[in-house]
Amino acid sequence: MTELLWLLVALPLAGALVNVLFGKKIGEPIAGWIAFGLVVIPWAIALGPTIGFLTGSAVPETIYLFSWIPIVGADVAILWDPLSALLTMIVTGVGALIHLYSIGYMHGDERYARFFAYLNLFIASMLILVLASNYAVMFIGWELVGLSSYLLISFWFTKPSAAAAGKKAFVVNRIGDWGFLVALMIIFASFGTFDFGVIFVSAPSVLTVGTATAITLLLFLGATGKSAQIPLYIWLPDAMEGPTPVSALIHAATMVTAGVFMMARSAVLFELAPVSGAVVATVGGATALLAAVIAVTQMDIKKVLAYSTISQLGYMVMGIGVGAYTAGVFHLTTHAFFKALLFLGAGSVIHGMANQQDMRKMGGLRKFMPITFVTMTVGWLAISGIFPFSGFWSKDEVLAAVFQRGGLWLILWFVGIVAALLTAFYMTRLYVLTFYGEPRWDADVNPKESSWTMTAPLVVLALAATVFGAFNTPARLAFEHFLAPSFALIGESETLSLSLLITLAAFTMLVAIGGIIWSWRTYAGDELPAEDSSFWRRGLDGFGVDDFYGKYIVAPGRTMSQWFSDTADPKGIDGVSHGIAGGVRSAGEGLKTLQSGQVRSYAGGIAVAGVLLIVALVVFGGGF
Amino acid sequence: MIITTTWYLVLAAALFSIGVSGVLIRRNALVMFMSIELMLNSVNLTFVAVSKDLGLVEGQVAALFVMVVAAAEVTVGLAIIVAVFRRKASANIDELAELKG
Amino acid sequence: MGELIVFVIFATVALASAVAMVSARNPVYSAIGLLGAMFSIAILYVLLDAHFVAAVQVIVYAGAVMTLFLFVIMLIGVDNPDAYGPAVPAQKVMTWVVSVGLFAAIVLAGRAAWVTGSDAFGTPDLNGTIEKVSDELFGTWTVVFLSTVMLLTIAAVGTIALAYFGTEVADEEATL
């Protein structure tokens, strides 16, 4: 079955092409169903081999497709191991559900088919990234994913804020990409190839700690761009301008996890640079906390979820930083399910509320949108980390791994606990404001449940968010075993005693429950709290980070480019080209006098030249 | 004294120079043209002299070709001069300076 | 010895004719000067044993090209028409002397060959004979030869076109 794996990329690409070229003719909803089918089939193709990994009967393999740049060791080949299999299932599975959801959500949009083309392009790009067997192909996927994100964020480009958001996402990502590229350069300088197999096997002997630290820090810079960590997270809240399925797919479940995936893939390199690990974990923890605080203050339902994503990504990054790669990837998986669920549910709410996104205008929706309500409940409990939903297991595994490192890492663990408290708080706030209390919407809004194409994915995701936690309980650790072949080159880490794990988990859950109760009591009453102190106002603004960047980074850049366009370009570059033209013109004017039109002067010129030639031939050619 | 090939070549060179001076000095288009013909003749003389010297017959063949081409050139050239004369009623070549840049 | 005399005489004639051509005021005199130069060169060709080329020189250059020149000169007119009349005194006498002397020289010179056959002047250099030249011309240089044929045709057509267009006949036919 693994010979068919190249179809994983080819089919969505074909779908994108079909929808771009013939989308208008195909029309809705068939264009959507085509796109959906071309994501389901890859999911089915990948299912068999993945189960093979699960039962332990399959081994990781590299499937060679074709040669690309032999001189740098960049072949186009698929690295099929448990890690890429897992991400493939997530991308195609959640992706297929979101395609299904979009068939209903994007109904009536005039660029319907183009949307599905972009979605398919995204799936293909993400799969290129995930299945790559060398850094060069992974980078191609990385860039393509950034492109798809840009296209999808600014899908409604006639809205200036959407266009600006797309641009912001792309530019901020670019800064991260610069880090990635420099890391690739150092990797190539050290290894002479980009191939994972060669690099990861020879890394311990080839790299010094300094080089490894440089590489991993730069790789992390790339990850901060894609996975929205400090300092490059600012694009993610703005990216909510895109349609909600886009937010669910790209900015919750898949693209933002690309950074985490890339770091997990490069685990061998991170193991060689403990300093980078510390930096990564600290940044992750800080991001988790900061984003959670900002999320508390937001009014827009999607913005809350956006900051929540940043915060949860911080958890994943923190897990990677402390060397708990499987824990980070596990949280990535559970997060994909429950965050996609939350976003799709929010989309259902927005759809039913006639595009209203402000939570102050919602309330009491549980009676009007029952399926959405039930599934969102599952999502809420999962993200808050309540037993037995999946989020509980994954978040606790990350926090346990941090706790285990002891010493100064306990500060990070505490930060994680506070962030968990805040997560429970703001998610409950969202939940209560949306579904409980008295209706606060305008008179002409008529909320009702969404169609089956939108609610069916919600149900499936809710099931996954409920059940998936069982995959990796401390008792079974099936997930770790599943992923073990991918991390074979890293040593086993010692596990904590079961009793300590249970204690930590219980403590975390108590904290979460405490946050829920606190939030419920604040928001479920008859009157909403005012939320207008300076804390709330500044938080709404993201604590001024955007303004800071704008004043100290964007503005100087704009001044510089203004100078270039007003001064350097007209005077310098145009001056040179005009000067050359002027010089040629005056030379021509000078030479014009030779053309007198007088035949005899021409003949005279020929005669003189002939004489000179003869003289030259005689003098330099050998004389008489 | 034996007439060596050099004598012929010198004579041809002299005729050629006279032809060049004719082209540069005279204003009448027809006389210019005739000077050009003289130059061609001198070249022919060179060809034949050298052909005698080397013992090849190719020189004479070349001279024949030159003659043919010269004849064709004279034909067309004179036709042009006549056509120009019809317009300008003058054979003064200094007045035909319309290609002045 | 004879060769030297003939060469000196006719080289001088050639140079003098050329100078006359360049310096004469009347274009007709220039044409006559050129004619004289061409005849002299033809004789020099004979000295070089290029008999066929000499013959062609006289026929084509002196015969056709100079005739054409003279026609055009008369068509276009001369820059400064001088009085037509004998400019050189005793011109008539000189003409008689030259003509009769030329006839006598030819008869005397050719008498040996006419009576005893062409061997009287020694065997000619075979390289200049018409057979040899034609062997080369139609053998090795066929393509060039045919190209010159084409060239002449094109020149002839071009000349007619130049002469034709712009006349009243052409304008009439165009409006028909």
Nearest CA distance, B60 vs chain C (angstrom)? 7
Interface of B with A in 23-62 (CB under 8 A): 23-24, 27, 32
Model confidence band, residue C60 (pLDDT cutoffs 50, 70, 90):
very high
Read off the pLDDT of each residue in B73-92 and give the average, rounded to a whole number: 84
pLDDT reported for residue A486? 72
CA A161 remoteness from chain centre:
20
Of the candidates C20, C56, C46, the one whose C-alpha atom is nearest the C-alpha of residue C35 is: C20
More confident residue, C64 or C171: C64
Query: Does the beta carbon of C64 lie under 8 angstroms from any beta carbon of chain B?
Result: yes
Give the percent of chain C with pLDDT over 70. Answer: 76
**Residue of chain C with shortest Cα separation from B13:** C15
Which position has the token pair 């959407």?
A162
Read off the pLDDT of each residue in A182-202 and give the average, rounded to a whole number: 88
pLDDT reported for residue C82? 47
**Lowest mean pLDDT segment, chosen from A321-330, A501-510, A596-605, C87-96:** C87-96
Query: Does the beta carbon of C169 lie under 8 angstroms from any beta carbon of chain B?
Result: no
**Quick check: ipTM above 0.95?**
no
| CA distance to A14, A107, A347, A452, C61, per residue, from A30 (Å) | 15, 11, 22, 16, 89
Gyration radius of chain B over CA positions: 17
Report the C-alpha gap between A198 and A147 in whole angstroms: 29
Model confidence band, residue C119 (pLDDT cutoffs 50, 70, 90):
low
Of the candidates B95, B76, B75, the one whose C-alpha atom is nearest the C-alpha of residue B85 is: B95
Give the percent of chain B with pLDDT over 70. Answer: 98
More confident residue, A254 or A495: A254
Query: Does the beta carbon of B23 lie under 8 angstroms from any beta carbon of chain C?
Result: no
Which position has the token pair 């390289």?
C127
pLDDT reported for residue B73? 93
A600–B101 C-beta distance less than 8 A: no
Gyration radius of chain A over CA positions: 30
Read off the pLDDT of each residue in A556-576 and give the average, rounded to a whole number: 85
pLDDT reported for residue C39? 94
B93–A597 C-beta distance less than 8 A: no
pLDDT per residue as tens digits for the range C128-167: 778 888 888 898 899 999 999 999 999 999 888 887 876 6
Predicted TM-score (pTM) of the model is 0.67
pLDDT reported for residue C88? 59
Give the percent of chain A with pLDDT over 90. Answer: 18
Question: Quick check: B94 pLDDT over 90?
Answer: no
Question: Quick check: A452 pLDDT over 70?
Answer: yes
Model confidence band, residue A443 (pLDDT cutoffs 50, 70, 90):
low
pLDDT reported for residue C166? 66
Find chain B residues with C-beta within 8 A of C11's C-beta. Answer: 7, 11
pLDDT reported for residue C114? 63
Query: Does the beta carbon of C1 lie under 8 angstroms from any beta carbon of chain B?
Result: no
Nearest CA distance, B75 vs chain C (angstrom)? 7
For A559-595, give one letter per residue: b (16+ CB within 10 A) or e: eeeeeeeeeeeeeeeeeeeeeeeeeeeeeeeeeeeee
Of the candidates A273, A270, A237, A275, the one whose C-alpha atom is nearest the C-alpha of residue A256 is: A237
Average per-residue pLDDT for chain C: 81
pLDDT reported for residue A599? 78
pLDDT reported for residue C171? 67
Question: Quick check: A505 pLDDT over 80?
Answer: yes
Nearest CA distance, A580 vs chain B (angstrom)? 22
Nearest 10 degrees: Cα torsion A237, A241, A246, A247: 30
Model confidence band, residue A181 (pLDDT cutoffs 50, 70, 90):
very high
Cβ contact A240:A303 at 8 Å: yes
pLDDT reported for residue A64? 83
Question: Quick check: C79 pLDDT over 70?
Answer: no
Report the C-alpha gap between A207 and A203 in whole angstroms: 6
pLDDT reported for residue A179? 92
* Phi, then psi, of A450 in degrees rounded to 5: -85, 175
Model confidence band, residue A494 (pLDDT cutoffs 50, 70, 90):
low
Interface of C with B in 119-148 (CB under 8 A): 125, 127-128, 132-133, 135-137, 141, 144-145, 148
Q: Kindly state the greatest CA–CA separation across chain A.
A: 120
> What is the number of CB-based contacts under 8 A between chain B and chain C?
171
Of the candidates A415, A171, A172, A434, the one whose C-alpha atom is nearest the C-alpha of residue A298 is: A434
Read off the pLDDT of each residue in A524-530 and give the average, rounded to a whole number: 71
Query: Does the beta carbon of A592 lie under 8 angstroms from any beta carbon of chain B?
Result: yes
Question: Quick check: A561 pLDDT over 60?
Answer: yes
Read off the pLDDT of each residue in A443-447 and give the average, rounded to a whole number: 70
Read off the pLDDT of each residue in A415-432 and give the average, rounded to a whole number: 90
pLDDT reported for residue A442? 73
More confident residue, A499 or A374: A374
Of the candidates C144, C48, C9, the one whose C-alpha atom is nearest the C-alpha of residue B48 is: C48
Query: Does the beta carbon of A597 lie under 8 angstroms from any beta carbon of chain B?
Result: yes
More confident residue, A74 or A331: A331
Find chain C residues with C-beta within 8 A of B79's C-beta. Answer: 158-159, 162-163
Q: What is the DSSP string of A124-156?
A: HHHHHHHHBSBHHHHHHHHHHHHHHHHHHHTTT
Model confidence band, residue C83 (pLDDT cutoffs 50, 70, 90):
very low
CB-based burial label for C57 (10 Å; 0-12, 13-18, 19+) = buried
Model confidence band, residue A219 (pLDDT cutoffs 50, 70, 90):
very high
Question: Quick check: B68 pLDDT over 90?
Answer: yes
Nearest CA distance, B97 vs chain A (angstrom)? 4
Residue B10: how many other CB atoms lie within 10 Å: 11
Question: Quick check: B92 pLDDT over 80?
Answer: no
pLDDT per residue as tens digits for the range A276-316: 888 999 999 999 999 999 988 888 889 899 999 999 999 99
Average per-residue pLDDT for chain A: 85
A607–B94 C-beta distance less than 8 A: no
| CA distance to A430, B28, B34, C29, per residue, from C21 (Å) | 114, 12, 8, 7
B30–C72 C-beta distance less than 8 A: yes
Token pair belonging to A282: 């600290």
Nearest CA distance, B82 vs chain C (angstrom)? 7
- The crossing angle, in degrees rounded to 10, of helices A160-191 and A135-153 is 180
**Residue of chain C with shortest Cα separation from B35:** C22
Report the C-alpha gap between A373 and A453 in whole angstroms: 16
Give the percent of chain A with pLDDT over 70. Answer: 95
